[in-house]
Amino acid sequence: MTLRPEDRAAPLSAFGKPVDAVWLEIGFGAGEHLAWQAANNPRVGIIGCEPYVAGVAKLLAKIARAGPSNIRIHMGDARDVIEALPAASLSRVFVLFPDPWPKARHHKRRIVQMETLDGLARAMIPGAELRFATDDRGYLAYALERLTAHSALRWAAVCAADWRARPADWPETRYEAKALAAGRRPAYLRFIRR
């Protein structure tokens, strides 16, 4: 289940069986989204990055029950994986409800930084999709500013409904459920690698 250092250089062969594509989920929390994607996309290898032991343990429990073999886990900073991935190796990236680090002095800790987006753009194939969700309005504005400014990414939204409704192949996470229960409306952004 663990993503080995050598797997980062050849992600298509990291899953013990042939896969057609590789996806990356950054900060998978308890892993409900990642496990759902793995179960519903068996020909896709999914790398999940999460620095917290509790989240990794919850995902491992889900894997033990459901048994998907198309998941590899990196317990640590996703930027280490992004740096090591070969160019044009990812077909989809998920950044769902990341820690907003709301204090201005902590904004440098946010995962959506131009340097991180540069690394993701390098690792994404043309046409690959980056999905980002947040219920924090401050982080939404911050992320939109950076995502729309990045020359390798194109916002897929055509109308307001495109970011107000979660796509059918994007299952609810517990963070999303908490936001909705608290009356906060999440935004669901999709960007395409040019």
3-state SS, residue 10: coil
Among 107, 109, 38, 101, residue whose Cα is nearest residue 78: 109
Q: Specify whether the CB–CB gap between 129 and 93 falls below 8 A.
A: yes
Q: Is 99 a catalytic site residue?
A: yes
Q: Specify whether the CB–CB gap between 142 and 112 falls below 8 A.
A: yes
Q: Which one of 99, 135, 162, 169 is the catalytic residue?
A: 99
Helix 53-66 crosses helix 32-40 at what angle (to 10 degrees)? 30
SS3 per residue for 67-112:
CCCCEEEECCCHHHHHHHCCCCCEEEEEEECCCCCCCHHHHHHCCC
Among 118, 107, 119, 49, residue whose Cα is nearest residue 77: 49
Q: How far is CA 56 from the centre of its chain?
A: 15
Token code pair at residue 72: 């590899």
Q: Which residues are catalytic?
A: 99
